C-alpha cells in the first residue's frame, strides 16, 4: 500500500466508524514517513468535513456521526501533543464550551468538541452543570474568541439568558453561540446570543465564520 492509499483507507474507516481498523491504520501512519500535519489535514480534517456532508445530506444519522466523532477524539488525543507546534503557528483562537448550570446532558457538546478538535481548534471544555460564574471566570482568564453554551432542558434557556447577560456585562469581545436539542433561532434571540446552531456541523460552520469576524 502506498501513502495515498494508507491515507484514504484511514479516512474511510474513520468516516464509516470502523474503530479498530481506523486505530490500527492510524498507528501505521504514525510509523510511516507521512508528517503529523499531513495526517491532521488530509485525514482528520477531511474526514470531519465528509462526515458533516453525509449528515447534512441525510445519508448519515446521529449514531454514525457519534461513532466517527469518537474515533476522531481518540486519534486527536494522540495527535494533539505532536501537532502542538504546528497548531500554534496557525492558531485560530480558543473556544470555551460547556453545558449550562442544572443541565448534565453532554453527548451533543462532546460531539461538537470532537468536530472542532478535528478541525484544529483549541477547545476548553468546562464540562456539564456549569454555573454562569464559572463561565465568566474562565472567559476572563482565557479570553476566548467564541463561547459555546449547550443545553437540552427547557429550564436551560433561562440559565443561558443569565450566563449571556453576565458575559456581556464583562465587555468581553467573545462571540456567543448556543446549541442543544430544545433551542431554536427564536430562543437564541431571547437568550441574546450571537448565534445558534441546530447541530454540530452547522455549529462548526458558524464558529468558523465567527472566528473570522472577531
Ligand atoms: C441522553 C439523554 C439523557 C441522558 C444524558 C446522558 C449524557 N451523559 O449526556 C440522561 C439519562 C442523564 C438524561 C437525564 C435527564 N433528561 Co434527558 N435526554 C436524553 C436524550 C434521550 C438524548 C439527548 C442527546 O444526547 N441527544 C443527542 C445529541 C447529539 O443531540 P444534542 O444534544 O441536541 O446535540 C446536537 C445539537 O443540539 C448541537 N449542540 C448541542 N450542544 C451544542 C453546543 C454548541 C455550542 C453548539 C454550536 C451546538 C450544540 O450539536 C449536537 C450534535 O449535532 C433526550 C431526548 C432527545 N431525543 O433529545 C432527553 C431529554 C433532553 N432529557 C430530558 C429530560 C427531562 C431529562 C431529565 C430531567 C429526566 C429526569 N426526569 O431525570 C434528566 C435531566 C438531568 C439534568 N439535570 O440535566 C428531556 C428535556 C425536556 C425539556 N424540554 O426540558 C428530553 C428532551 C427527553 C424528553 N423528550 O422528555 N437525559
More confident residue, 168 or 117: 168
| Structural domain ending residue among the three candidates 70, 89, 108 | 89
C-alpha cell at 111: 460531539
Residues with catalytic annotation?
103, 105, 156
Same domain? 76 vs 122: no
Atom number in ligand 1 closest to CA 156: 84
Do 7 and 55 lie in one domain? The reply is yes
Asked whether residue 209 falls in the same domain as residue 142, the answer is yes
Banded model confidence at residue 90, pLDDT cuts 50, 70, 90: low
Contacts with 176 (C-beta within 8 Å, 6 or more apart), sequence order: 146, 147, 148, 149, 164, 167, 193, 194, 195
pLDDT range class, residue 52, cuts 50, 70, 90: confident
Q: What pLDDT is stored for residue 80 in this prediction?
A: 72
Mark whether 104 and 180 lie in a shared domain: yes
Establish whether residue 103 lines the binding site of ligand 1, counting it when its CB lies within 6 angstroms of any ligand atom. Answer: yes
Long-range contacts of 180-187, Cβ-Cβ distance < 8 Å, separation of 24 or more: 180/99, 180/103, 180/105, 180/108, 180/150, 180/151, 180/152, 180/156, 181/105, 181/108, 181/152, 182/151, 182/152, 182/153, 182/154, 182/156, 182/157, 183/151, 183/157, 187/157
Q: Which residue has the higher pLDDT, 85 or 163?
A: 163
Are 31 and 122 in the same domain? no
Number of domains in the chain: 2
For the stretch 26-46, pLDDT in tens is 999 999 989 887 887 789 878
Contact 151, 102 (CB under 8 A): no
Q: Going by CA atoms, what residue is nearest to atom 84 of ligand 1?
A: 153
pTM listed for this prediction: 0.82
pLDDT top residue among 52 and 128:
128
CATH number for 205:
3.40.50.280
Last residue of a domain, one of 45, 72, 89: 89
- The 10 Å CB-count burial string (b at 16+, else e) for 98-136 is bbbbebebbebbbbbbbbbbbbbbbbbbbebbbbbeebb
Average pLDDT of the chain, as a whole number: 89
From 181, 187, 196, 198, give the residue whose CB has the most ligand 1 atoms within 8 Å, as the site to mutate.
181
Q: What's the CATH number where 64 sits?
A: 1.10.1240.10
What are the grid coordinates assigned to 9, written together?
483507507
Q: Which of 123, 117, 77, 116 is nearest to 97 (CA)?
A: 123
Write out the residue range of the structural domain in which residue 69 sits: 3-89
What pLDDT, in 10s, does the model give residues 158-211? 999 999 999 999 989 899 999 998 899 999 999 999 999 988 878 988 998 888
144 and 103 in a common domain: yes
- Whether residues 116 and 21 share a domain: the answer is no
pLDDT tier at 86 (50, 70, 90 boundaries)?
A: low
Instruction: Tell me which of 34, 59, 89 is where a domain ends.
Output: 89
pLDDT of residue 88 exceeding 60? no
Task: Please tell me whether residues 103 and 121 are part of one structural domain.
Answer: yes
Nearest CA to ligand 1 atom 46: 179
Let me know whether 77 and 146 are in one domain: no
Amino acid at each position: 500500500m502506498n501513502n495515498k492509499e494508507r491515507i484514504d483507507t484511514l479516512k474511510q474507516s474513520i468516516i464509516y466508524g470502523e474503530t479498530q481498523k481506523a486505530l490500527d491504520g492510524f498507528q501505521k501512519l504514525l510509523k510511516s514517513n507521512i508528517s503529523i500535519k499531513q495526517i491532521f489535514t488530509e485525514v482528520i480534517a477531511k474526514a470531519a468535513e465528509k462526515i458533516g456532508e453525509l449528515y447534512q445530506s441525510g445519508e448519515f444519522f446521529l449514531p454514525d456521526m457519534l461513532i466517527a466523532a469518537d474515533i476522531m477524539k481518540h486519534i486527536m488525543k494522540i495527535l494533539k501533543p505532536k501537532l502542538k507546534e504546528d497548531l500554534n503557528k496557525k492558531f485560530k483562537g480558543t473556544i470555551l464550551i460547556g453545558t449550562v448550570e442544572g443541565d448534565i446532558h453532554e453527548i451533543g457538546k462532546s460531539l461538537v468538541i470532537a468536530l472542532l478538535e478535528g478541525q484544529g481548534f483549541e477547545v476548553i471544555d468546562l464540562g456539564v452543570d456549569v454555573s454562569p460564574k464559572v463561565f465568566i471566570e474562565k472567559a476572563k482568564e482565557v479570553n476566548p474568541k467564541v463561547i459555546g453554551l449547550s443545553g437540552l432542558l427547557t429550564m436551560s434557556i433561562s440559565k443561558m439568558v443569565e450566563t449571556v447577560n453576565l458575559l456581556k456585562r464583562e465587555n468581553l469581545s467573545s462571540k456567543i453561540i448556543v446549541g442543544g436539542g430544545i433551542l431554536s433561532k427564536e430562543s437564541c434571540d431571547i437568550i441574546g446570543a450571537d448565534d445558534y446552531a441546530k447541530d454540530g456541523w452547522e455549529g462548526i460552520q458558524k464558529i468558523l465564520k465567527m472566528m473570522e469576524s472577531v
